[in-house]
Amino acid sequence: MSGSTVRVAAGQFGSVPGQPDKNVVRTIEVMQEARTGGVELLVMPECGLTGYVFGDVEETRAASISLDGPELRDIADSAESLGLYVVVGFIESLGEALHNTAVLVGPGGLRATYRKTHLPHLGADRFVTPGDNGPVLVDTPHGVVGLSICYDLRFPEWARCLALGGADIIANPTNWPAPAERVAELFTRVRAAENHVFVIAANRGDEEHGAQFIGRSQVIDPTGSVLASVEREEGLIVADIEPASARVKDVHVPEVDFAISLFGDRRPALYGALTSAANPPERN
């Protein structure tokens, strides 16, 4: 299937912990640079507006921002004026709760909010509440975007739910630390290939309060091939993609009489163990 080409980018940039105002200014500068280069969909790192590594819940709360605060209004105003869709991450204050949140903002304002579902024992995730939202998918002029954050990518069930919901692109803001090399090398490619979707992963390559981040931001195509990537240096990782190509889930190679249907060959009635913590499969 052919379709229109969309220029996408992962923005690999560091964050100043606890200083959202500075991070918003930098994010808007990156948005402007991306749009000048023809980018239509930009993904920025996890918690990029607030920072991620904090020592306790009080520090985490002090760095947090709200959905209706001036920080996101500034991002939304810039997205509107630039005609750009952008995914940004931050620690969200919601009443007494804190969340690790990503939003998709574009022309027309805030399009979707996703609160990280799977939480590792790391950084701010030690002090936030897991999101109880179902899979978040957004129709845009550039394809259907599904939202995921960092550790979520280790859970194939989550990516599959996004793909079953119609995602052409999984946007994955992340803060991969030093132990996550295999995620950058393998998980992004496997999630893309097993679901036949594009994956845009945006990490950072700097250091925050002693935590080293590995960079490795990338754009992956539905076959699992790396279209664009970088090591730890800051910058935009840009690729041109055809989102419509992700909607073809069947593979047919007549020369060798080979055919598969990634979704059509599923047998969901046999997969009950995936959603039942109390009933593992029986052993013979």
Structure tokens at 1: 């299937």
CA distance 273 to 271: 5
Is residue 146 within 8 Å of 132, Cβ to Cβ? no
DSSP 170: E
**Candidates 46, 71, 92, 208; catalytic one:** 46
**Candidates 40, 47, 71, 116; catalytic one:** 116
> In 3D, which of 8, 19, 12, 52 has the Cα closest to residue 200?
8
**Which residue matches tokens 């079953």?**
164
Is residue 72 within 8 Å of 104, Cβ to Cβ? no
Query: What SS3 state is found at 95?
Result: coil
Instruction: State yes or no: is 116 an active-site residue.
Output: yes
Structure tokens at 110: 């805030």
Query: What SS3 state is found at 52?
Result: coil
**All residues at 6 or more sequence positions from 86 whose CB lies less than 8 Å from its CB, including other chains:** 27, 31, 41, 42, 43, 44, 75, 79, 104, 105, 106
| Sign (positive or negative) of CA dihedral 72, 6, 200, 266 | positive
Residues 42/43/47/50 CA torsion (nearest 10 deg): -10
**Candidates 71, 92, 150, 208; catalytic one:** 150
Instruction: State yes or no: is 150 an active-site residue.
Output: yes
Helices 156-164 and 188-195 cross at an angle (nearest 10°) of 40
Q: What residues are annotated to the active site?
A: 46, 116, 150
